C-alpha cells in the first residue's frame, strides 16, 4: 500500500475487481435482504446510480462463486438458498451492445424498428449463449483442478453427453439450421463466437452486409438460450435440476440508446419479451435504474404489458435502505456503510484492520457528530449577537439573553425566535420582566428538537461560519442511503486529511482519526461534486437547473424564517392527484429528479383537514451542505401546487425575481464570470 493514496479513490470498483477482491470487498448485507435474487423467477434489480446493483448481480457470477469456495468464505446468500444454479450475463455497456443500432438507418424506414428488434434479439441471444458456454467450460476446467463447486454443480462434458446435447440442440427449429455443421461441443463454441464476430464486423462497418446465413437464421429473443439450457440439463452436462440465470446489467443503457437513436422503446421491449416468456428453462436477472424500468413495460410485438409479481419480482435497493416504520421491511444502511468502509480499508492495508479498533471503525475515524449545542458554541466563539437581536426586548430579556448567549448560544437563538412567534408577539412576551418564567424548555422538548438544525443553519449564517457537518452520524445521514454518496464523502474527507498531512506524519500514521475541520472541508467538497454530478445522465441540464432552483428556494425560506415557524421548509409537498394526473413539464422534471436520486420522494401524511393524499420531496441529503440547508426532515414541508411550482421555477430560470435568483446562483465556474 502507498500511504499517499486514497483508499476510496476508485468509487466504482465492480467492473475492475478480480473475483478474489470481490470476495473481500463485497458486503453481504444487500444480498442477505435480497432473497429473490436466488428464486426461480425473473428478477429486476432496481436502484439509483451507485446503489450496488452490479455488485449484487456479480455475486451470481461463476468466477465469484469459485473464489468464495476457494477462499473458504461463506457465500453471502440468504439462508437456505438453492445453490444449484449457473449463470451467464451481458453487461450492456462493457459489451458495447449500443453498436447494434449503428446500421439501422441503412434499412428502409418502414422496417427499421423490426430490423432493429430482430437483430438486437439475435445478437443478445448469442452474447448470452457465448457467456453461458464460457461459464460451463470455465467451471469444468476449474473442477479438474480441485472439484470446486462440484458437490452440487458437477460439469460433465464427455462424449456421450456431448452427443446427446448436440442432437437435442440441432433437432430444435430455433436455430434455423445454423448449427447443422456442428459435430462437437468445440464446433459449437466456435460457431457461436463466429456469429458474434461477424455481427461486430458488420456493426463496425468492416463488412458491407450481414451474410445470408445469418440474416436467414435470426432467432427470437430468449429462445436459443432456453433451448441450450434445457439441452445442457437433459444431456447431463449440468445436473438436471440446475437453474440457469441470465444477467442483463446496465439495462438503462437501452433507455439512453433509444433516446439517442430515436428507436423509441424497441430495445427494452425486446428484453420485456424475454421476461414475458415465463420460461422455466431460464430466469433473467436485470440490473436497471428506476427511470429505465418504470416507463416502459410493454412487450415487443404483442402490445401486452409485463405484470409485476407474475412476470418478474423486484429488488429495489433504494427501497431496501429507506427508513421504514417497520424496521424488518428494510436493511440498516448504517451497518451496510460500516461494512463497506471496513472492507475497503482492510483490502487497502493491513494497518487498517478492524480488529485494531474497539467498536465502530466509522466512529473511530470520523468520531461522533457534535451535539447541536457544541456546534452552536463553535459558530459563536467569542462573537456577540448583533444589535438587532435585542431589538424590541425588555431590559430583563436583553440581560437574560446576553447571559444565555455566553453559555448556551443555541438556546438564546431559539428563545429569541420563539419571541417572534405569533402567540408571543400577541401576548407581548418580549416585554415581560421575568423572562426566566416564560419558556418551559421541558414542555417544549420537541419544539426545540424539531428546530435545532434550522436554528443552527441560521446561527452559522449570522456568525458567518460554515455549517458544521462532521462525525459518523452526519456522514451516514448525508449519504441518503446511497452507497455511492457515502463513498464520495469518504473519498473527499480522506483527501482533505491526506492533503493536510505531511509526508513525515503520514509515515507515522496508521488508521487516522480525522479532525472535524478536515471533515467539514471534505463534506463540502463531496457536496459540490454531487451537485456537479447532476448534469450527468438523462435531462442533466434541466435537472441541474431545477435542483439549483429548489436549493435556492429552500435556502431562502430557511434563512428568512426568523421565528422558526416552519422548520420543515427544506422540502415541498403536492397533492397526489395534482402530481399524478397532470402532465406539465415540471411534473416530468420532478419524476426525472426522483428517478436519478436528486430528490427523495415519500408519501406525506398531511396535517391539513382536507384529508387529501399528498406526496413530498426533499433534496438528496448530500446536496444540503452546498445549499446550506438542514438535511433533517421534520415538520411540515412547503405546500404547493404544480402550477405554482412551475411559475416559481420559471421565475428563477428567467431571473426576473431578484429575490429568488440572487439568493444562491446556480453552480458555475467563476473564471471571467464577473
For binding to another protein (CB under 8 A), which residues are involved? Answer: 4, 461, 464-466, 499-500, 502-503, 505, 517-518, 520-521, 524-525, 528, 626, 628, 664, 667, 669-672, 674
CB of 556 to another protein, least distance (A): 12
Please, is 639 exposed, middle or buried when counting C-beta atoms within 10 Å of its C-beta (0-12, 13-18, 19+)?
middle
**How do 283-288 and 243-249 pair as beta strands?**
parallel
Nearest to 8 by CA among 503, 524, 352: 352
Nearer to another protein, 591 or 628 (CB): 628
Specify the pairing of strand 313-316 against strand 599-604. unpaired
Classify strands 571-575 and 638-639 as parallel, antiparallel or unpaired. parallel
Q: How far is 391 from 431, CA to CA, in rounded Å?
A: 11
Distance CA 447, CA 445 (A): 6
Instruction: State CA 439 to chain mean position distance.
Output: 44
Minimum gap (Å) between residue 540 Cβ and another protein: 19
Nearer to another protein, 352 or 524 (CB): 524
Between residues 167 and 499, which has the closer beta carbon with respect to another protein? 499
CA 600 centroid distance within chain: 12
Q: How far is the CB of 651 from another protein (least distance, A)?
A: 21
Minimum distance, C-beta of residue 663 to another protein, in the bound complex (Å):
10
Angle formed at CA 423 by CA 421 and CA 424, multiple of 5 degrees: 70
Instruction: Closer to another protein by CB, 309 or 671: give it.
Output: 671
Provide the minimum distance between the beta carbon of 463 and another protein in the complex, in angstroms, as a whole number.
9
For residues 408 and 466, which CB has a smaller minimum distance to another protein in the complex? 466
* R_g of the chain computed on alpha carbons: 30
Q: What H or E segment, with its residue span, contains residue 571?
A: strand 571-575
CB of 385 to another protein, least distance (A): 16
Confirm if 100 and 119 have CB atoms less than 8 A apart. Answer: yes
By beta-carbon proximity to another protein, the closer residue of 278 and 383 is 383
The distance of closest approach from Cβ of residue 481 to another protein in the complex, given in angstroms and rounded to an integer, is 25
When the beta carbons of 7 and 461 are compared against another protein, the nearer one is 461
Report, in Å, the least distance between residue 466 CB and another protein: 5
- In the three-class reduction of DSSP (H, G, I as helix; E, B as strand; rest coil), residue 440 is classed as coil
Q: How far is CA 462 from the centre of its chain?
A: 35
Number of C-beta neighbours around residue 187 at 10 A: 13
Give me the residue label for grid cell 468509487: 11
Contact between 283 and 40 (Cβ < 8 Å): yes
Per-residue b/e over 471-482, b at no fewer than 16 CB within 10 Å? bbebbbbbbbbb
Residue 344 Cβ, how far from another protein at the closest point, in Å? 21
Burial class of residue 573 in the structure, from the number of CB atoms within 10 Å of its CB (0-12 exposed, 13-18 middle, 19+ buried): buried
CB of 472 to another protein, least distance (A): 21
Nearest to 106 by CA among 215, 256, 221, 265: 215
Nearer to another protein, 178 or 626 (CB): 626
Taking the mean position of all CA atoms in its chain, how far away is CA 324? 18
CB closer to another protein out of 356 and 665: 665
Q: Is residue 87 within 8 Å of residue 139, measured between CB atoms?
A: no
CB of 559 to another protein, least distance (A): 10
Count other C-beta atoms under 10 Å from residue 311's C-beta: 20
Assess contact for 288 and 46: CB atoms under 8 A. Answer: yes
Cα(655)–Cα(545) distance, integer angstroms: 12
Please report the DSSP string for 488-520 in residue order.
HHHHHHHHHHHHHS-HHHHHH-SS----HHHHH
Calpha distance 51→300 (Å, rounded): 29
C-beta of 502: minimal distance to another protein in Å? Answer: 6
CB of residue 387 to another protein, shortest distance in Å: 19
Query: For another protein, which is the closer residue by CB, 89 or 625?
Result: 625
Determine which helix (DSSP H) or strand (DSSP E) holds 90, and give its type and residue range.
strand 85-91
Which of residues 181 and 674 has its CB atom nearest to another protein in the complex?
674
Amino acid at each position: 500500500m502507498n500511504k499517499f493514496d486514497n483508499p476510496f479513490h476508485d468509487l466504482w470498483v465492480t467492473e475492475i475487481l478480480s473475483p478474489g477482491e470481490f470476495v473481500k470487498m463485497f458486503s453481504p448485507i444487500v444480498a442477505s435482504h435480497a432473497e429473490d435474487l436466488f428464486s426461480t423467477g425473473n428478477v429486476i434489480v432496481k436502484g439509483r446510480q451507485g446503489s450496488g446493483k452490479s455488485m449484487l448481480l456479480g455475486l451470481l457470477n461463476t468466477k465469484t462463486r469459485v473464489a468464495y469456495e476457494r477462499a473458504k468464505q461463506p457465500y453471502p446468500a440468504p439462508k437456505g438458498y438453492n445453490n444449484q444454479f449457473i449463470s451467464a450475463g451481458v453487461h450492456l455497456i462493457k459489451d458495447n451492445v449500443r453498436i447494434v443500432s449503428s446500421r439501422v438507418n441503412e434499412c428502409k424506414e418502414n422496417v427499421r424498428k423490426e430490423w432493429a428488434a430482430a437483430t438486437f434479439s439475435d445478437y443478445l441471444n448469442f452474447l448470452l449463449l457465448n457467456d453461458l458456454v464460457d461459464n460451463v467450460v470455465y467451471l469444468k476446467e476449474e473442477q479438474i483442478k480441485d472439484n470446486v463447486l462440484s458437490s452440487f454443480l458437477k460439469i460433465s462434458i464427455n462424449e456421450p453427453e456431448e452427443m446427446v446435447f448436440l442432437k437435442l440442440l440441432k433437432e430444435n427449429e430455433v436455430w434455423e439450421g445454423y448449427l447443422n455443421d456442428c459435430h462437437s461441443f468445440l464446433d459449437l463454441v466456435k460457431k457461436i463466437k463466429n456469429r458474434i464476430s461477424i455481427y461486430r464486423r458488420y456493426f463496425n462497418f468492416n463488412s458491407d452486409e450481414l451474410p445470408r446465413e445469418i440474416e436467414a437464421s435470426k432467432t427470437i429473443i430468449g429462445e436459443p438460450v432456453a433451448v441450450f439450457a434445457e439441452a445442457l440439463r437433459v444431456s447431463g452436462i449440468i445436473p438436471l435440476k440446475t437453474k440457469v440465470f441470465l444477467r442483463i446489467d446496465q439495462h438503462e443503457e437501452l433507455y439512453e440508446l433509444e433516446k439517442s437513436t430515436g428507436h423509441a422503446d424497441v430495445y427494452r421491449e425486446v428484453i420485456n419479451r424475454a421476461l414475458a416468456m415465463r420460461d422455466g428453462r431460464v430466469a433473467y436477472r436485470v440490473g436497471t435504474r428506476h427511470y429505465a424500468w418504470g416507463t416502459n413495460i410493454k412487450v415487443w410485438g404483442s402490445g401486452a404489458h409485463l405484470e409485476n409479481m407474475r412476470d418478474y419480482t423486484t429488488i429495489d435497493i433504494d427501497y431496501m435502505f429507506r427508513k421504514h416504520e417497520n424496521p424488518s421491511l428494510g436493511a440498516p444502511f448504517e451497518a451496510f456503510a460500516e461494512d463497506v468502509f471496513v472492507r475497503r480499508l482492510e483490502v487497502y492495508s493491513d494497518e487498517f484492520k478492524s480488529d485494531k479498533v474497539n467498536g465502530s471503525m466509522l466512529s473511530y475515524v470520523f468520531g461522533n457528530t457534535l451535539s447541536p449545542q457544541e456546534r452552536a458554541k463553535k459558530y459563536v466563539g467569542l462573537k456577540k449577537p448583533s444589535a438587532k437581536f435585542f431589538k424590541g426586548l425588555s431590559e430583563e430579556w436583553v440581560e437574560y439573553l446576553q447571559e444565555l448567549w455566553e453559555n448556551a448560544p443555541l438556546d438564546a437563538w431559539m428563545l429569541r425566535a420563539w419571541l417572534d412567534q405569533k402567540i408571543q408577539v400577541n401576548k407581548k412576551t418580549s416585554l415581560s420582566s421575568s423572562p426566566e418564567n416564560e419558556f418551559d424548555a421541558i414542555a417544549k422538548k420537541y419544539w426545540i428538537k424539531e428546530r435545532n438544525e434550522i436554528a443552527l443553519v441560521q446561527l452559522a449564517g449570522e456568525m458567518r461560519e460554515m455549517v458544521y457537518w462532521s462525525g459518523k452520524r452526519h456522514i451516514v445521514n448525508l449519504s441518503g442511503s446511497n452507497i455511492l454518496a457515502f463513498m464520495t464523502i469518504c473519498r473527499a474527507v480522506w483527501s482533505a486529511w491526506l492533503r493536510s498531512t505531511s509526508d513525515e506524519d503520514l509515515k507515522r500514521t496508521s488508521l487516522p482519526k480525522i479532525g472535524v475541520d478536515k471533515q467539514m472541508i471534505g463534506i463540502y467538497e463531496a457536496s459540490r461534486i454531487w451537485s456537479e454530478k447532476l448534469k450527468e445522465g438523462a435531462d442533466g441540464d434541466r435537472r441541474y437547473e431545477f435542483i439549483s432552483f429548489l436549493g435556492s428556494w429552500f435556502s431562502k425560506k430557511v434563512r428568512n424564517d426568523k421565528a422558526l415557524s416552519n422548520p420543515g421548509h427544506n422540502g415541498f409537498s403536492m397533492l397526489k392527484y395534482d402530481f399524478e394526473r397532470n402532465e406539465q413539464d415540471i411534473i416530468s422534471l420532478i419524476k426525472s429528479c426522483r428517478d436519478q436520486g436528486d430528490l427523495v420522494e415519500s408519501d406525506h401524511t398531511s396535517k391539513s383537514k382536507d384529508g387529501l393524499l399528498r406526496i413530498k420531496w426533499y433534496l438528496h441529503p448530500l446536496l444540503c451542505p452546498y445549499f446550506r440547508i438542514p438535511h433533517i426532515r421534520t415538520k411540515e414541508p412547503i405546500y404547493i401546487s404544480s402550477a405554482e411550482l412551475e411559475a416559481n421555477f420559471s421565475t428563477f430560470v428567467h431571473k426576473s425575481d431578484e429575490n429568488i435568483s440572487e439568493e444562491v446562483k446556480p453552480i458555475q465556474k467563476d473564471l471571467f464570470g464577473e
